[in-house]
Structure 1
């Protein structure tokens, strides 16, 4: 075999965890947090039904490698879902359990299915607290041996308790590793890498949509294929560049060849990697033969929502709830102090201090993510009037739409029954950018503070 997953049985993930749905989470204390959560619970509109989560339903990654079957290549599809994205129920014996289903379909250019699988996973949790964790995950994977070429991959994920389903489609290109004298598999970011007595590497893949947390040791794992089966040493070099195409890491070393297939990994030195986007390029040379492979990744803060990738942008997005003194302090903070100032801002609003999760912050940026997905147009969705109201008050209890009323421009009315308020938005230009008519900044600002 090529890639090996180390861990418990994929049919009963040990350490798996349970989550209860977000609308039932209630925390004592801060009124604003209670208000944010309560309005979300009352909404029955599509604005709530299709809202994206800061905690995604799942992360996934595809790793290409050479197959043991002649003329075929192999892809590994890894999927990781946070416990908080699953719906748990109390188990018959003790604790809680959740079940989900994963489907993979691979179609060729003519939309003919060439391969696919459907499988189920069971996740267990010892106590209720684990069910709400966003830092524990269930991981599953499947492998497929397919002829090199271009395909369409459809991945589906279904929570078997709620029947909620998410699908994602991606065009993929499966490389031919037998064509060149020297080639390299895709790069896999892995944890807990071990080598057994047979030299086989086992690991836990770091599956997170190209987002990796470098607060723990992280390895870059790849395989080198040599059709000449030469035993000459490999010269291996790797370079990491930031978003400005500047080299931040550049290292090289020699590696003895194991023949036709060499399994290799190195620890990614993270001292020079701050938060941001990067690309790693690995080059391998053996005599006159050369090969290279690239992979993009993003370093993020482990204690912040996964949607936050730019701290300055995240600070701008709190302007709807920040007091004037807080806002001025955040804006004036030195570049090296912004992250600490941001953390302090949210620490003061943490409804459950002393726990690793800040529920209010997670909810807030979940709404920011939804606003960007739903209301973006000529400007980012979080800056729009609809985005502003959604971020602050959450999904409306009801929405009344008037797209074609005679003698009137298109408009919508959002009702919030728990606070006995409504907001009217009108498309003044005809380009779908709805502006708030019935409420001023001072009006809804007063609502939040009181």
Structure 2
């Protein structure tokens, strides 16, 4: 009889739990891969906090669907996105999964923010849970689209106190490493950025030195001494680490090597297609583009690409090239702003080329020729006045630069 009662209770409990999950999972579903629109990282057994798992996430605004509030409703002309964010941890040692759900409403009156590639909603789950081995599922429900997005489940081990993940923080944030603000400010990858970053490892003699390498680089680093913190801290600002995968080895050869990625979070979209990115580099050269006929493997091409841009780098001592980033941000703008029926890629038009090389004009004057062709005159007041005149020869939106 006791067994039957237990079974009934167990079935009821499972139904409740599964029912909650069905409520969260209504609508269309899509599997997500790690990308720059949704970023997550986790910290196992952080010594400075009471919790034994910190899981942070960042959701870019353009990933979400914003809905405009009707004019007859409160907060009229406000755009809103509504999401539920869930982390679920299941273990063979626990009867039911551990679930934490955050309901979020994001509001803005600026439409441009709803499609922004620079704005993120950031938060974290700070958990104090039994020290077990878990399979973790991270899920986002966009309530307006009624669509659920899930990442591939991954394993974490809180039972083994020697287990850890690589952590990267901004050098400027080191002073808050023991404060709650840090919970949203660490990464499991190294952001490719103009900012300086530190690698954070557990304290211990086995972490006194590390080696970072791939097929192109090989670095040996010693940790910072006398920091007064319970971590091994390594400065990375002198290393030429461009986008890619790297291996990290420890002084103690018994410790298993780990790999990490250098990832450009706010990377211009134009750089996601290397063929296109290389093609518009011709704007910088009077003669033939040196990379136009260069066809190595992908990693070798990336290395040559960054080496070529290093010639134009205003800060050559750091791997991040501000001029290159601005060049391709302008290409992103031109791609959409100057496209036409005859040329869908506005970065390849005459106006796109001038915008990429010179930036936004000081003044734009629009008029028509005697035969009704649209004309644009761009004026730049930089040191001296420069003017560019464009004609829409065929009245199809593709303006041609007049030599």
Q: TM-score, normalised by structure 1?
A: 0.49
Q: In the superposition, relative to structure 1, how do residues 53 and 93 fare at CA in structure 2: closer, same or farther (>3 Å)?
A: farther
SS, match of residue 269 in structure 2: coil
1:215 and 1:58 map into 2 onto residues whose CA distance is 21
Is the contact between residue 83 and residue 105 of structure 2 (CA under 8 Å) also seen in structure 1? yes
**Deviations along 1:34-74, whole A, 9 cap, x unmatched?**
xxxxxxxxxxxxxx99697996652222221157999xx82
1:347 and 2:331 aligned: yes
SS, match of residue 272 in structure 1: coil
The alpha carbon displacement at 1:142 in A equals 0.4
Is the contact between residue 235 and residue 255 of structure 1 (CA under 8 Å) also seen in structure 2? no
The alpha carbon displacement at 1:104 in A equals 1.5
SS, match of residue 208 in structure 2: strand
> For residue 188 of structure 1, what is the aligned residue in structure 2?
167
Is the contact between residue 44 and residue 165 of structure 2 (CA under 8 Å) also seen in structure 1? yes
Is the contact between residue 55 and residue 126 of structure 2 (CA under 8 Å) also seen in structure 1? yes
> For residue 196 of structure 2, what is the aligned residue in structure 1?
217
Structure-to-structure mapping, 1:5-44, within 5 angstroms: none
SS, match of residue 52 in structure 2: strand
The alpha carbon displacement at 1:174 in A equals 1.3
SS, match of residue 219 in structure 1: strand
Is the contact between residue 220 and residue 268 of structure 1 (CA under 8 Å) also seen in structure 2? yes
From 79, 94, 102, give the equivalent of 1:96: 79
Structure-to-structure mapping, 1:26-65, within 5 angstroms: 58-65=38-45
Q: In the superposition, relative to structure 1, how do residues 234 and 205 fare at CA in structure 2: closer, same or farther (>3 Å)?
A: same
Is the contact between residue 37 and residue 60 of structure 2 (CA under 8 Å) also seen in structure 1? yes
From 220, 237, 244, give the equivalent of 1:276: 244
From 209, 212, 217, give the equivalent of 1:240: 212
SS, match of residue 133 in structure 1: coil
1:126 and 1:267 map into 2 onto residues whose CA distance is 41
Give the unaligned 5+ runs of structure 2. Answer: 1-27, 70-74, 280-286, 296-300, 313-323, 339-343, 348-397, 399-403
> For residue 31 of structure 1, what is the aligned residue in structure 2?
none
The alpha carbon displacement at 1:86 in A equals 1.0
From 58, 61, 86, give the equivalent of 2:64: 86
Q: TM-score, normalised by structure 2?
A: 0.53
SS, match of residue 102 in structure 1: strand
The alpha carbon displacement at 1:137 in A equals 0.8
The alpha carbon displacement at 1:307 in A equals 8.8
Q: In the superposition, relative to structure 1, how do residues 64 and 79 fare at CA in structure 2: closer, same or farther (>3 Å)?
A: same
2:209 and 2:243 map into 1 onto residues whose CA distance is 23
**Deviations along 1:300-332, whole A, 9 cap, x unmatched?**
384333994xx7xx328999xxxxx99997335
SS, match of residue 173 in structure 2: strand
SS, match of residue 152 in structure 2: strand
2:78 and 2:201 map into 1 onto residues whose CA distance is 39
**Deviations along 1:330-376, whole A, 9 cap, x unmatched?**
335993438999967993952237xxxxx9699xxxxxxxxxxxxxx
SS, match of residue 161 in structure 1: coil
1:102 and 1:163 map into 2 onto residues whose CA distance is 13
Is the contact between residue 134 and residue 156 of structure 2 (CA under 8 Å) also seen in structure 1? yes
Give the unaligned 5+ runs of structure 1. Answer: 1-47, 226-232, 320-324, 354-358, 363-448
The alpha carbon displacement at 1:141 in A equals 0.9
Q: Alignment RMSD, CA only?
A: 4.9
1:162 and 1:241 map into 2 onto residues whose CA distance is 44
Greater length-normalized contact order (CA 8 Å, ≥ 6 residues apart): 1
